[in-house]
Amino acid sequence: MKANVVRLNRRSGTQKDPPRCLLIARRGIYTAQDFCNVMSALMVDLLEGRVTDRVANATVNAGGKMLKAAELQQKYGVDGANNRKELLVAERAALQKTLP
């Protein structure tokens, strides 16, 4: 299901701008700075009423899981390409069999 980003303001019937956090997140979250930018924009969007509390809660929960994955990678990962730590959580061959 594809979400419609531009929504109508319920009171005035005018279009609402898309949430700022969505615009930032679409570029990808690759660094701690990217993560902080998305979370900061999410706080502003929540206060301005651009996102619901349920959306904000789900986003923060997903963000917490991303941070946990990064922590585990740093703690238990092995040296990989380009001197980056890698953490294998599932075999690629197994994933390819389950994906359409």
In a domain, 8, yes or no: no
Residue 84 falls within a domain, yes or no? Answer: yes
The answer to whether residues 14 and 8 touch, using CB atoms and an 8 Å cutoff, is yes
* Mean pLDDT of all residues in 64-74: 90
Per-residue H/E/C for 41-81: HHHHHHHHCCCCHHHHHHHHHHHHHHHHHHHHHHHHCEECH
How many domains does one find in the chain?
1
- DSSP structure class, residue 15: B
pLDDT score for 85: 74
Question: What are 14-61's pLDDT values in tens digits?
Answer: 557 899 999 999 999 988 999 999 999 999 999 999 999 999 999 999
Mean pLDDT for 58-85 is 87
Residue 54 located in a structural domain: yes
Full domain range(s) for residue 43: 20-98
Mean pLDDT of 1-9: 47
The rounded distance, in Å, linking the Cα atoms of 51 and 59 is: 10
